[in-house]
């Protein structure tokens, strides 16, 4: 039997939110952006919401809460093999990036799981991917002479993996996993990449 030791499970799946539900969430986030200066965190440029997007005084979107919770439980079942009772505390925020805005490398290590729910992505977006970095500090034996000769580059040998965001998709990953978001280009200077990011910890 083949074992994958030291793997890093990342879940990617549709959030099962309708275009109108995504539109309502986008409208709310953009209204917040118009009313509040936001915070400066990993974002360089763009706008980062303040407070917990999953709690008052923010408007609650039950369908969004459910989509995030379902994805987290799916991850916990598949990656941890756990399907018992578990109480999760969720904190969330939104990041709205325009062309040229990006997020520097960071992680959310004080939590159990983190993730991103893509609310809106410019249709002509070039770039804008999220990049995950191999946590093994490049000590894995990729790029050996033998593998070069054979032309082999299996997926587990990459030192980083990028995922191109798709509106309506959700990612869940371990909170300690380093990641960053590259800038994007679009024909329109008004194009926006809107994401709801979240942390989950166990109560
Ligand atoms: Fe992040």
Cis peptide before 57 (omega within 30 of 0): yes
Indicate the pairing of strand 179-181 with strand 88-97: unpaired
What's the 107 CA to ligand 1 centre distance in angstroms? 6
Cα 59 to averaged position of ligand 1 atoms, centre (Å): 22
pTM of the prediction?
A: 0.93
Please list the residues that pair with 95 across neighbouring strands. Answer: 48, 195
From the centroid of its chain, how far is CA 177? 11
Ligand 1 centre to CA of 148 (Å) is: 33
Q: Please answer whether residues 198 and 117 qualify as being in contact, where contact means their C-beta atoms are separated by less than 8 angstroms.
A: yes
E strand residue ranges, the chain: 11-14, 43-44, 47-48, 88-97, 102-106, 113-120, 126-127, 130-133, 160-163, 169-174, 179-181, 184-185, 193-202
46: phi then psi, degrees, rounded to nearest 5: 70, -165
CA of 9 to the centre of ligand 1 (A): 16
- pLDDT of the chain, 203 residues: tens digit per residue: 999 888 899 999 999 999 999 999 999 999 999 998 877 777 788 899 999 999 999 999 999 999 999 999 999 999 999 989 899 999 999 999 999 999 999 999 989 999 999 999 999 999 999 999 988 876 665 677 888 899 888 877 788 899 999 999 999 999 999 999 999 999 999 999 999 999 999 99
Residue 150 Cα to ligand 1 midpoint, Å, equals 36
* φ/ψ bin of 104: left (φ > 0), alpha (ψ from -120 to 50), beta (otherwise): beta
CATH number (2.60.120.10, 2.60.120.620, 3.40.50.2000, 3.30.70.100) of 11-134+158-202 reads 2.60.120.620
| Ligand 1 geometric centre to CA of 139 (Å) | 24
Please answer whether residues 157 and 186 qualify as being in contact, where contact means their C-beta atoms are separated by less than 8 angstroms. no
């Amino acid at each position: 039997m083949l074992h994958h030791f030291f793997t890093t499970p990342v879940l990617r799946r549709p959030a099962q939110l309708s275009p109108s539900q995504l539109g309502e969430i986008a409208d709310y986030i953009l209204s917040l952006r118009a009313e509040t200066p936001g915070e400066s965190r990993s974002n360089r440029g763009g706008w980062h919401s303040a407070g917990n997007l999953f709690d008052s005084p923010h408007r609650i979107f039950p369908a969004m809460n459910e989509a995030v919770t379902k994805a987290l439980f799916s991850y916990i079942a598949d990656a941890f093999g756990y399907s018992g009772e578990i109480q999760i505390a969720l904190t969330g925020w939104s990041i709205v990036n325009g062309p040229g805005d990006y997020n520097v490398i960071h992680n959310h290590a004080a939590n159990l799981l983190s993730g991103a729910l893509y609310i809106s992505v410019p249709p002509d977006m070039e770039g804008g991917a999220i990049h995950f970095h191999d946590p093994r500090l490049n000590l894995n034996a990729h790029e050996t002479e033998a593998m070069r000769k054979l032309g082999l580059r299996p997926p587990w040998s990459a030192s980083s993996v990028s995922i191109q965001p798709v509106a309506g998709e959700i990612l869940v990953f371990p909170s300690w996993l380093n990641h960053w978001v590259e800038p994007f280009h679009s024909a329109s200077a008004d194009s926006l990449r809107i994401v709801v990011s979240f942390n989950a910890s166990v109560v």
